[in-house]
Chains A and B, each alone.
Chain A
Amino acid sequence: NAGVTQTPKFQVLKTGQSMTLQCAQDMNHNSMYWYRQDPGMGLRLIYYSASEGTTDKGEVPNGYNVSRLNKREFSLRLESAAPSQTSVYFCASSEGGVSLYGYTFGSGTRLTVV
Chain B
Amino acid sequence: AQSVAQPEDQVNVAEGNPLTVKCTYSVSGNPYLFWYVQYPNRGLQFLLKYITGDNLVKGSYGFEAEFNKSQTSFHLKKPSALVSDSALYFCAVRPPGYSTLTFGKGTMLLVSP
Contact = CB atoms under 8 A, between A and B. Distances in A.
A40 B42 contact: no
B28 interface: no
Nearest to B42: A107
Contact of B34 (A31, A42, A102): A102
A43 B90 contact: yes
Contacts, number: 57
Nearest to A59: B102
A50 B101 contact: no
Contacts of B9: 40
Contacts of B34: 102
B61 to A, nearest CB: 15
Nearest to B9: A40
Nearest to A90: B43
Interface in A88-104: 90, 92, 97-98, 100-104
Interface of A: 4, 31, 33, 35, 40-45, 48, 50, 58, 90, 92, 97-98, 100-108
B46 A102 contact: yes
A8 to B, nearest CB: 14
B104 to A, nearest CB: 6
Contact of A42 (B41, B90, B99, B100): B90
